[in-house]
Amino acid sequence: MPPKRVFKPIRPNTNTNSSSIQPPGPAHIQPDLSQQPEQPPPPILLEELESLLNQTHPEHDTKPDISHINTQENNKAPLFKTSSPEPPPQAQKNLPAPNINLKKPPKNPLINPAKKPSSRPKHQPESNVDNETWLSKRLTDPVKTVEDKWQLLPAFLKVKGLVKQHIDSFNYFVDVDLKAILRANATVISDVDPNFHLSYLDINVGEPSRLDTGSATNKRITPHECRLRDITYSAPISVTIQYTKGNKRVLSKGIPIGRIPIMLRSNKCVLTGKSDAELAKMTECPLDPGGYFVVKGTEKVILVQEQLSKNRILIETDSRKGTIMASVTSSTHERKSKTYVVTKNSKIYLKHNSIQEEIPIAIALKAYGITSDREVVQIVCGNNDDYRAAFSICMEHCHEAGVFTQKQALAYIGKSVKIIKKGPVAGPKRPLTEEALEVLSTVVLAHVPADNLNLQPKAIYLAVMARRVVQAMANPKLVDDRDYVGNKRLELAGQLLSLLFEDLFKKFNTDLKLNIDKVLKKPNRTTEFDAINQFRMHADHISNGFIRAISTGNWSIKRFKMERAGITHVLSRLSYISALGMMTRISSQFEKTRKVSGPRALQPSQWGMLCPSDTPEGEACGLVKNLALMTHITTDTDEEPIWNVAYTIGCEDISSVTGTELYLPRHYIVFINGNILGLTRSPERFVEVFRQFRRAGKISEFVSIYMNADQQTVNIATDGGRICRPMIIVSRGDSMVKTHHIEKLKAGQMSFDDFLSQGLIEYLDCNEENDSFIALYEEDIDGYTTHLEIEPFTLLGAVAGLIPYPHHNQSPRNTYQCAMGKQAIGVIAYNQLHRIDTLLYLMVYPHHPMVRTKTIELVGYDKLPAGQNATVAVMSYSGYDIEDALILNKASLDRGFGRCQVFRKATAMIKRYPNGTYDRIADPPRDAEGQVLEKWKPCDDGGVADVGMKVYNGNVYINKQSPSNANDNSVGSGAATVTSWSNTPMTYRGTVPSYIDKVMVTDTESDQTLVKVLLRQTRRPELGDKFSSRHGQKGVCGLIVQQEDMPFNDRGTCPDIIMNPHGFPSRMTVGKMLELLSGKAGVLRGTVEYGTAFGGSKAVEMSKILIEHGYSYLGKDYLTSGITGQPLEHYVFMGPIYYQKLKHMVLDKMHARARGPRAVLTRQPTEGRSRDGGLRLGEMERDCLIAHGASQLLLERLMLSSDSFELDVCQDCGFMGYNGWCVRCKNGNSVTKITIPYACKLLFQELMAMNIAPRLVLEDAIK
């Protein structure tokens, strides 16, 4: 590779005018780096630009405003292609030159002609960027080290955040979607009174507030208070309305129509924009990412939903039927429908749900107004003879049907196709041609506009679909992949809430209209009708709709017949990383029980967009995915500015194009969000100029554009739900991001948004990535490269990013760690000791990992860790370490290793009953000597346990009592008299005693008293507790050994954990070995080492550090046996590894039963630990007992100890008797008793109910 030439700037002569600077020679013109960017993008010629932008489109009379392109604030001087070294006259006019990259620049760009002469004396050297250095590098050098570029990641997360897509989506819903839905449903008209007219003018969402009647002074509420008091963190929705009252129009502002739950950290949340100190005052954790809701005190997340993209043509094939199908799902605010173009017997048909029969494609095109046969063939096949031959059979089909004109085509559709009518139709019956025309114009291809019955856009769209089918018939490789990420869209909280609100608001308006009609029907009203009273009556409808949907997770949209379950989940607070992982989870609507590999497979298009490791095991494998670290999900962008830009830079309106031109070479159809916008005759130039507009910040950075050569299309996408990620732009084989940019970023002079606005970085979605040539590292850049990855390790998600050296592990091990990392006990938030959660696990002494990754620092895991650094010796020790069991050092456990606390919540509600009675908390009962009875010992005089009291199994900690007549429905003038009280105490159930950690007494929004008690247990590791390293190497504690019996090295260090070496060969977790090596070196040197994916501390360097400190370079130590005192025969691999204690503890699973409750129906022992159930002897266990021949044990287990039952049987007829009497034989002479399982008797009775008569023939009764 030839060495790069370094250009040094020439200092201009200060005595001459800048326009007459003579360069040293035409072949050695050097750029002035102090006034312009180091390597600006290649320019467009000014003459070309002016001619391009002076063009006006026939439909757009005005020229676009281009004065803002490349203004002086960008400090980018224009470059001109000219044969003479003199700048052209345009430069002196200071014409704005856009930063548009179309042509290759000359090798030696001219000196900046606009540069003023320097007033510096000759002897003083000019201060130039190139002369300054930073970290021993010149500031114009390309970024060469990982350390430089990595600074962009925290900057990105500061702007976007791991949960920013949820927050952006909710903000878009509140700021934009709400107003759009209001405009679409802005009027309510009465059927009774034609003079009544109500219109909505504006809608607004207020601040989160409390609904308590007694707190009028401070209405503002915090999420922490909502969690504690079991209320919903919501804000009022108010509207401005104008309506008729009598004979005048009334304008009313701030009319409440309901409340909406507010997403934490959104722009309506009280936490937004607060400093860490202010958040601490509100008892909130600064590291909490937000993006979830608090509904009835529970934290709920709306999971990201994966859907197929709307309004896009997808080609699919059915190999069994041998058919090819083009489908498009049209989605507008009015309706959702699906249109198909399918093949059947080599003919092509149009198919739609609203039409019962399939329509031949040629007839459909004629019905859309393309009447000439030649035009039909031209608009579908172009000049391709193969396509024409394949399509000719469709034309023959049309001729056989006798359809030649549009009227005949509509008549054919009207006659031979039955239109499916929705509901009763009033008025006279319309002609069939009108019915057909209405369906074709409004329902079929609903997303393509047909303004004033102009059907040409629909005709062209249908022709394009038919052409795609013909192409797929000729070339099967052109079939689309449903699982390709570019064909998917992600629905976020904003879109789902938008659908829900639209449905609730329409229902609200319908109910409002019915009530208004009911009132206006009464002619003898005494007062004037006021619409505001009706609003108050229906205010709860929208609030309850939101709360019901988020609480249950069931989205039911009747208008679109949409029924979805499992949209929301309770936010997992097992650890900080489990909450974070849940926020980035993507849930697929695909049926989990179907065993198909396609949707579950790892797609190449998921690179950098979705995490390859973080997916659950089992039936959801591959269907539940997680976002990668730097992905962003787009929100909707307005299309109109994009139309203007597209028409300006060479897109011709589709209405002015003939069928002949559509498929000519280098004639590409321009689509915007699936709709045809026009045609371009120079697609590469069109795409390049469009991208330069985006890089200059003139259109949204999330708009994507890409070409498809097979289909001859240019696709522009502005819709929401696309996954995209940032890339560094590469220009002329050099990265645009330089060292001085990173220095400014570190100094706080630049943010990530500045990198975007200056055209150094851009977002690419999945489709545009396919149109780019991306280098992983700087050394991979060549002449074709268009983009550079910011960091390769960002292809992993937030959870998989915690694993050190994941690229040295076998793939499934990383997947296992992703599941177990979420179950690790650690620290959940800074406010964890102020929370009262249902179940909370906390590590008493959490550690920072000694071997970190960059992701750990980015997501804040080092501030809220979940694990401890343990000294691990890899060796066999007794037989208690087989099958991944671990040997633990008792002294380490005494010092706090693996110690955790478990908090459980108990809640008692003091209810008020309809008859006026209410519950109470009574004083504990006492014995004759005045002492509190043993069972009530923990309670104080108020009937609630004191903080710090120890409670044992069976102890009462809230002495609640309910009135005996609570259910009496006596409604009188006053409250019913309580005659007696029944005890309904809260009693502690648990094998191990707990301590009362907190007691809280408060009231809910409905003014009912709420008592919450937090119970605490401190647990140390014991046999059977589960541990795991960060490499999927899980194991349970097999033995706890005294420190005296543990082996020790020559410095007296004993390991905390002994691990069996047989866990390595088959698992191939080399990353764990490297973690031990790096951790050991870091401990000796006093530094934190890095095991970041595709990088990190190198094993060679770690070995050098070990040698420097007197250790073996292999990480092995000389150990002495603690039992015999003899040296061990071999060196032992020993060092620190970060171990996680998982939530699976033997104390929570330990269960046995001698006797207990039985199920009512089967009379067998109940199932489950919580019900004090029995242990099931299953089919496999039964087989073992049969193989052993232990028949009496089988009898004892399956009948005697389970559900033995004495049954009366008649020996004559074999039927069951009752109480010594046979109903069938009408006597009791032959009735005898036998013992059978009760479930068997139940089976016989069920068979008899089905007319099957089982007869019991007793052996000793056979004559």
Q: What are the residue numbers of the active site?
A: 884
Report which residue type is found at 452: N
Amino acid at 737: V
Cα(672)–Cα(691) distance, rounded to whole angstroms?
Answer: 15
Q: How far apart are the first and last CA of the chain?
A: 105
Yes or no: say if 1032 and 1069 are a contact pair by the CB < 8 Å rule: yes
Alpha-helical regions (H) of 3-104: 46-54, 89-92
DSSP, collapsed to helix, strand or coil, labels residue 1224 as: coil
1057 membership: H or E segment, kind and range:
strand 1057-1059
List the helix and strand counts (H, then E) for the chain: 33, 54
The tokens 């005294």 sit on which residue? 1042
Q: Which two tokens stand for residue 793?
A: 């390790």
**Whether 260 contacts 234, CB under 8 Å:** yes
Residue-wise DSSP of 561-583: TEEE---EEEPP-SSHHHHHHHH
Which residue in this structure is represented by tokens 């470059």? 79
Bridge-based pairing state of the strands 868-874 and 1057-1059: parallel
Residue among 796, 805, 794, 843 at smallest CA distance from 1030: 805
Token pair for residue 564? 């979805």
Q: Give the pairing of strands 562-564 and 555-557.
A: antiparallel
* Exposure class string for 559-597: b at 16+ Cβ within 10 A, else e: eeeeebeebbbebbbbbbbbbbbbbbbbbbebeeeeeee
Residue 75 Cα to chain centre, angstroms: 40
Reduced to 3 states (helix: H, G, I; strand: E, B; else coil), residue 253 is strand
The maximal CA–CA distance of the chain, rounded, in angstroms, is 136
In 10 A of CB 1075, how many CB atoms? 30
Tokens of 1062: 């047989």
Both structure tokens of 241: 């309305």
- For tokens 């069994």, the residue is 320
Tell me the C-alpha distance between 790 and 40, whole Å: 20
Determine the 3-state secondary structure of 534 from DSSP.
Answer: helix
> Could you give the CA distance from residue 1131 to residue 1061 in angstroms, rounded to a whole number?
13
Neighbouring-strand partners of residue 342: 325, 349
Distance between CA atoms of residues 539 and 543, nearest Å: 7
β-partners of residue 491 are 305
Distance separating alpha carbons of residues 909 and 963, to the nearest angstrom: 14
Instruction: Return d(Cα 1001, Cα 1010) in angstroms, integer.
Output: 6
> Which residue, among 1014, 812, 858, has the nearest Cα to 287 in the 3D structure?
858
What residue type is assigned to position 408 of the chain?
Answer: Q
Reduced to 3 DSSP states, what percent helix, strand and coil does the chain have, rounded to the nearest 5? 30, 25, 45
**1057-1059/1048-1049 β-pairing:** unpaired
Q: 712: which strand partners?
A: none
